[in-house]
Amino acid sequence: MAKEEEIRESLTKQFGALEGKIRIQRARRMWAEVEPSDFETVLDYLRKSQGFVILCTMTGLDKGENLGIIYHLAREDGIMLNVEVTVPKTNPVIKTVTAVFPGADHYERELVDLLGFKIEGLAPGFRYPLTDDWPEGQYPLRKDWKLDPSLKTGKIEES
């Protein structure tokens, strides 16, 4: 666990606000909670100085009042740092990371479609994964989302 401890130490040294917010779950699994204002600099630091060059994926969470994003970052040696950022549901705006990780494009679009995030700086393009005529304001992965009867298009035969 020496490497994980080292990463924690250098992170807290660099960003004082992260004190006590980094958790080591087991070998090669670390979790961190970062404020939306810092997350860009933290991700940049992690990528450039700590070798977290792989963005495995991004998970969107519905946490009731807030929405969360987990950036699953990994290093070549298998250590994984999951950076969680929380934004209020009323104004779920977050900056894009596509400048740093070009591969994040589809992951961010997925967050926009399914959880209603507003990603600042995301290049225009096709939406993913919902259909082009999906109505505004319907975010299926939110916990309070109910299927609008008008959206049902397929007929399921009574058996």
Partner 1 sequence: MGKVFIPIGPQHPALKEPASFRILLEGEKVIEANVRLGYNHRGVEKACEERSYLQDMYLLERVCGICSHSHSTCFIQAVEEVAGLEIPPRANYIRTVVAELERIHSHLLWLGVAGHEVGFDSLFMYVWRDREIVMDLLAKISGNRVNYGMNTIGGVRRDISPGLYPEILKAMDVLEERTKYYIQIATGEMSFIKRLSNVGRLSKEDVETMCIVGPTGRASGVPRDVRRDDPYAAYGDLSFKVITDDHCDVYGRAVVRVLELMEAYSMVRQLIKNMPEGPIVVKAPRKIPAGEAVSRYEAPRGEDVHYVRSNGTEKPERVKVRAPTLANLQAMKKMLENYYLADIPIVIAAIDPCFSCTDRTIEVNRLEKGTTELMSWDALRAYSIDWYARQGIQLKGIRL
User: What's the min distance (Å) between Cβ of 138 and partner 1?
Assistant: 10
Cβ(142)–Cβ(115) under 8 Å? yes
Query: What is the DSSP code (8-state) at residue 124?
Result: P
Q: Which residues bind partner 1 (CB under 8 A)?
A: 25-26, 28-29, 31, 53-57, 59-62, 70, 72, 74, 76-78, 80, 82, 101-103, 105-107, 114, 125-131, 140-141, 147, 149, 152-156, 158
Phi, psi of 106 (to 5 degrees): -65, -35
Give the residue among 74, 138, 136 at the shortest CA–CA distance from 103.
74
Q: How far apart are CA 75 and CA 93, in angstroms?
A: 27
Element holding 94 (H helix, E strand): strand 93-95
User: What's the min distance (Å) between Cβ of 57 and partner 1?
Assistant: 4
User: What's the min distance (Å) between Cβ of 16 and partner 1?
Assistant: 25
Compare residues 8 and 82 and give the one whose CB is closer to partner 1. 82
Compare residues 14 and 75 and give the one whose CB is closer to partner 1. 75
